[in-house]
Structure 1
Amino acid sequence: MAKSYWVSAYRKVFKPEQLAEYSKLATPAILAGGGRILARGVAAFAHGAGIAERTVLIEFDSLEKAVAAFESAEYQAAVKVLGDAVERDFRIVEGAE
């Protein structure tokens, strides 16, 4: 079974304090769902249409676990707190086997 990854690229951060509050709720929800944070921070290098803003990469053991963590009540509560604080591109991508 292939691992899966949450990939979040933050295009713009409008309200950093609100993003910090989201992070306080999201991190334990992600960890409880089996996620492992592999990378988190401002891009060290961006190319093409890449934007040198915050990028987050989280690994899960399967697509099912990644989707379940996203859909969990705890993570959705964090998303509600995030609200309009950012413009982000969020994806769940299956890893290559």
Structure 2
Amino acid sequence: WAPAELPQPAMPLIDLTGKGGAAPVEMVAQAVKHTYPVEEDDLLFRNHRENFEYLRDNYRIRREFSSYRVRTNDPETERILKELGFQITK
């Protein structure tokens, strides 16, 4: 089995440079949420339990963190994001 070729993400660049003062954990959370709106899925599944099988069979496309480039001025945030697999860009 081989997955079908996925198109590039609509917004592959995550710019965290304007987040001065935010803790690294907050910036990492923002980057992760940018890649996939897990909270939206949670609400969808909770509010439409009767459609569970349909929702599961028609799940949104999820991409690896390596499909995204992140720009940040914070060295600790950069280190964490790199370890998670994000691409870092200047």
| Structure with the larger strand share | 1
Which TM-score applies when normalising by structure 2?
A: 0.29
For the pair shown, which has the larger CA radius of gyration, 1 or 2? Answer: 2
Which TM-score applies when normalising by structure 1?
A: 0.27
